Amino acid sequence: MNYQHWKTILAAFAVLWSIIFFSGCEAKSGGGAVVTPGRDEPAIVDSVMAINVHEDRPDGITNFFFTDSSQIYLWLYWMNVEGRNEVEVRWFSPEEEVDEPPYWKETQSFTSNTGQQITWFYIDKPSGGFTAGEWFVEIYLNGNFERMHIFTVE
């Protein structure tokens, strides 16, 4: 082999090595976790925002509503909730500050013999319509925070 042949091989190797090196130096971030929940721990299996609830099922699942929507619904499907339980929801409009009371708060109690339960809540349109912006609703079961939904009113 002559010198020119080695020079070509070395140049190809340098280009290949540069591609591998520089594509591998990209800054990446992320993470995750695996958690085993308690077998009998109450859990929300599904929850959605909707424009209506018909025959105890969500109708028109969405996270976007309008200032003139007549109502905004929150629908929840629970597992492992045998016995007596209390669900509280707290609705917050864009007008409430962090430490202010919620726009609306409601509590429902239920007793489940099967460990499964469907609950749903709604807020009615105020006289001037819903305030445009980002809203959120917090969900509590027996005083423990379970989940939050963020939705937009346009």
Q: Does the residue 69 lie in any domain?
A: yes
For 97-147, write each residue's pLDDT tens digit. 888 999 999 999 999 999 999 999 999 999 999 999 999 999 999 999 999
Note the Cα 37 to chain centre separation in Å: 18
Q: Does the residue 8 lie in any domain?
A: no
- The pair phi, psi for residue 24, each rounded to 5°, is -85, -10
For 11-35, write each residue's pLDDT tens digit. 776 676 666 666 665 677 888 888 7
Q: Does the residue 35 lie in any domain?
A: no
Q: Does the residue 129 lie in any domain?
A: yes
CATH code, 122: 2.60.40.1930
Q: Comparing 29-33, 43-47, 77-81, 143-147, which segment has the lowest mean pLDDT?
A: 29-33
Q: Does the residue 6 lie in any domain?
A: no
- Look at the alpha carbons of 55, 57, 60, 62 in this order and tell me if their dihedral is positive or negative: positive
pLDDT surpasses 60 at 1: no
Note the Cα 110 to chain centre separation in Å: 24
pLDDT surpasses 90 at 4: no
151 contacts 103 by C-beta, under 8 angstroms = no
> How many domains does the structure of the chain reveal?
1
Q: By residue range, what is the domain housing residue 87? A: 43-153
What is residue 62's DSSP assignment?
-
Q: Does the residue 19 lie in any domain?
A: no
Distance CA 93, CA 82 (A): 33
Question: In the prediction, which pLDDT does 152 show?
Answer: 99
Distance CA 49, CA 122 (A): 9
Q: Does the residue 23 lie in any domain?
A: no
Mean pLDDT, rounded, for 53-63: 97
Q: Does the residue 115 lie in any domain?
A: yes
